[in-house]
C-alpha cells in the first residue's frame, strides 16, 4: 500500500488528536521501522472501557489474535516526532510519483 503523508502545519500542534495507535496501523507501519520506534515510547493498552458515568462497555484488545494485541498510547508530540524523523528516509526510499 502506497501512502504519502503531507503536513501543512509548520510546527507540531498542541494537544492530542488521537487516543492511540490501533493494531492494524501498527502492522501497516511495521515494515518501515516506525512501529518499533513508536513502541519504545508507548504504553500498551490491553483493555478499554467506554463510560458515560456508568460503564457502557469494555473492549479486550488482548483477546485479538494479532501481532499487536493492544492499542499503543503515547503523547501526540512523540508520535509526530517519530514520524517526522522517519519521513525523510521513507520519502527517499519511496518518492512521491504525483
In the chain, domain spans: 23-91
- Do residues 82 and 26 lie in contact, with contact meaning Cβ atoms separated by under 8 Å? no
Q: How far apart are CA 29 and CA 46, in angstroms?
A: 20
21-74 residue pLDDT tens: 999 999 999 998 999 999 999 999 999 999 999 999 999 999 988 899 999 999
15, three cell numbers: 494537544
- Model confidence at 1, pLDDT cuts 50, 70, 90, reads low
- C-alpha dist (Å) from residue 74 to 11, 45, 52, 62, 96: 19, 10, 24, 18, 28
Distance CA 10, CA 95 (A): 21
0.85 exceeded by the pTM? no
- Model confidence at 96, pLDDT cuts 50, 70, 90, reads low
Amino acid at each position: 500500500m502506497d501512502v504519502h503523508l503531507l503536513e501543512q502545519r509548520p510546527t507540531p500542534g498542541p494537544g492530542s488528536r488521537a487516543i492511540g495507535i490501533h493494531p492494524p496501523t501498527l502492522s501497516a507501519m511495521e515494515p518501515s521501522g516506525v512501529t518499533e520506534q513508536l513502541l519504545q515510547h508507548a504504553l500498551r493498552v490491553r483493555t478499554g472501557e467506554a463510560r458515560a458515568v456508568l460503564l457502557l462497555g469494555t473492549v479486550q484488545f488482548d483477546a485479538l489474535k494479532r501481532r499487536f494485541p493492544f492499542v499503543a498510547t503515547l503523547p501526540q508530540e512523540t508520535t509526530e516526532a517519530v514520524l517526522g524523523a522517519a519521513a525523510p528516509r521513507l520519502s527517499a526510499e519511496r518518492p512521491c510519483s504525483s
